[in-house]
Amino acid sequence: MSETTSLPPQPISPLDGRYRAAVAGLGDYLSEAGLNRARVHVEVEWLAYLTEHSLLGGSPMGAEQLASLREWAAQFGQAEIDELAETERVTQHDVKAVEYLVRARLEQQGLGQFAELTHVCCTSEDINNLSYALTVKHSIEQVWIPRFETVIDELTRQAREYQELPMMSRTHGQPATPTTLGKELAVFVHRLRRQLDQIREIPYYGKFSGATGTFAAHLAADPHADWPAISRDFVEGLGLTFNPLTTQIESHDWQAELFTRIAHANRILHNLATDIWSYISIGYFRQIPVEGATGSSTMPHKVNPIRFENAEANLELSNAILDSLAATLVTSRWQRDLTDSSAQRNIGVGIGHSVLALDNIRKGLGQIDAAPEVLASDLDANWEVLGEAIQTVIRAEVTAGRSTISDPYAALKELTRGRRIGQAELIEFVSGLDIGAEAKERLLALTPATYTGVAAALVDRV
C-alpha cells in the first residue's frame, strides 16, 4: 500500500462528523465537556449549600460573591475545558481536576478561605452520579422529547388529514378487512404517546452519601448534623430524586429503566419506518421530490425512501447501545467497580442515534403524500374482502331465525378463498342468499371502500 499524507484529526463517529448538525443539541449535555460543566455545577452548589447552612465550619459567602461563582459555573466554556485537560494530564483523575479548577476559581475571586470545603465529604461518584443524572435529564427533556414530539405531532396531523381515506388492510401481507389510512397512523400516535408518558414518569435518582454510602466521613466531621436529611435536601434542590440506600455508586436502576423505555419507543418507531417504507413501495404514499436531490446515481427516475431506511439503521444502532447500557449498569461488584464509568460515556451515542432517527422520520413524513387513487384502485380490485361481512350477517340471520343456511363460513370460503371476484359476483351471490330483506339490502350497499367500520371515528381518540 502506498504511503498517504496524514489527515488532520477527524471524528470517528458519524454523529460527530456527517450527522453533527442533526444531533448538535446533545453535545451541550452528553459530551465530556457537558459532563464536566455539570460536575463544576454540582461542586459549586455543594460549596454554596455548606456555606449557606454554616456546615463544617463554613460561613455564608457574600451574595455578590456567590452570584459571581454561580455565574462562572453557568458560563463554563472553552477556557475551563482547556484548563481541565491540562490539569487532568497531571492528576490522571477527571473529578480531581474539577475540584482543582473550582479551588483555583475561589482563589481568583478572593474566596480562598472556602477552598477546603470544595469536594469535602465527597467521593468522586457523589459528583459523577449527580452530574450524569442532570445531563441525562436535560438531554432527554430538552432534546430527545421535543424531537419525539415533533414526530407524534406530524403523525397526528396526517392521521386527521387521512381520517376517512379508505385503505386496504394487509394482514400477513394479504388483502384483509379495509381500514382508513388515518386510523393506521393513529395507532402509532397512540403507541408512541403511551411510551412518552412513561418516559416522563421515570425519576432521575441521585446519591450523596460518601465512599460506601454510609456518611462515615460526614459523621466524623460533624456528629451532630443529620447528614441523610442534609443530603436529601441537597439532591432534591438540584431537581433530582434522592436515593437513600446505595453503595459507593447510585445503583443506576433508573438509567436502565429509562434506556429500556427509550429502546421500546425506538422499536415502535422502527415499526413505523418499515410500515411507511412498505406503503411507499406499493404506492399508497407518493414521495415529494426534493429540489436538486438525487434519488439514484444511475436511475434518474427514482426517489428512494432513504429517510426511513436511515431511521431504521440508526434505531437499531441506538438500541444496541441502550440495551447494552441497561444490562451493564445494573451490576457493580460489591461496593464499586469501574465498568459503569466507560459505559456511561456512551450514553450520548445511544441517545444520539435515536435523535438522528427521529430527525429522519420527521423529514421523511414531511416528504410524502397519500395517493387516494392508488388506494381506491386496490380496494376495487379486492371485493372478496367483503366475505367476512357477508358470512357474519348470515350467522346473525340464522340466529334470529331469518335464515336456514347451514354453514355460512364454508359457503363464503368456497366463493372467495384464493380467488379474485368482483362486484358483479358478490351482488349475484348476495342476491341469492336466503336472508332477510333488510340484511340483504345492507350487504348489497357495501363496497370495500365503505367497509371500514368505525375506523374514521377511532382517529378522534388521538
Q: Which three cell numbers stand for residue 331?
A: 451490576
Rounded distance between C-alpha atoms, residue 334 and residue 322, angstroms: 24
346 Cβ contact list (under 8 Å, min separation 6): 321, 325
Q: Is 41 a catalytic residue?
A: no
Phi/psi-derived region of residue 92, left when phi > 0, alpha when psi is between -120 and 50, beta in every other case: left
SS3 (DSSP) at 341: helix
Q: What does each C-alpha distance from 242 to 36, 121, 245, 335, 368 come to in angstroms?
A: 21, 17, 9, 19, 47
Do residues 426 and 386 make contact, with C-beta atoms less than 8 angstroms apart? yes
- Dihedral angle, C-alpha 176, 181, 184, 188, nearest 10 °: 150
**Active-site residue among 6, 172, 301, 342?**
172
Q: How far is the C-alpha of 426 from the C-alpha of 444, rounded, in Å? A: 8
| CA pair distance 274, 313, nearest whole angstrom | 11
Q: Are strands 285-287 and 368-370 parallel, antiparallel or unpaired?
A: antiparallel
Give the C-alpha separation, 230 to 105, whole Å. 25
State how far the Cα of 271 lies from the Cα of 152, in Å rounded to an integer: 14
Catalytic residue among 54, 59, 281, 296: 296
| Residue 149: partners with Cβ closer than 8 Å, 6 or more residues away | 196
Alpha-carbon distance of 399 to 436, in angstroms, equals 12
The H or E element spanning position 185 is: helix 181-201
Nearest to 11 by CA among 2, 25, 29, 24: 24
Residue 449 contacts residue 376 (beta carbons within 8 Å): yes
Give 390-434 as a 3 state SS string: HHHHHHHHHHCCCCCCCCHHHHHHHHHCCCCCCHHHHHHHHHCCC
User: CA Rg, the chain, in Å?
Assistant: 31
Which grid cell sits at 282?
A: 406499493
Q: Is 270 a catalytic residue?
A: no
Which residues are marked as active site? 172, 296
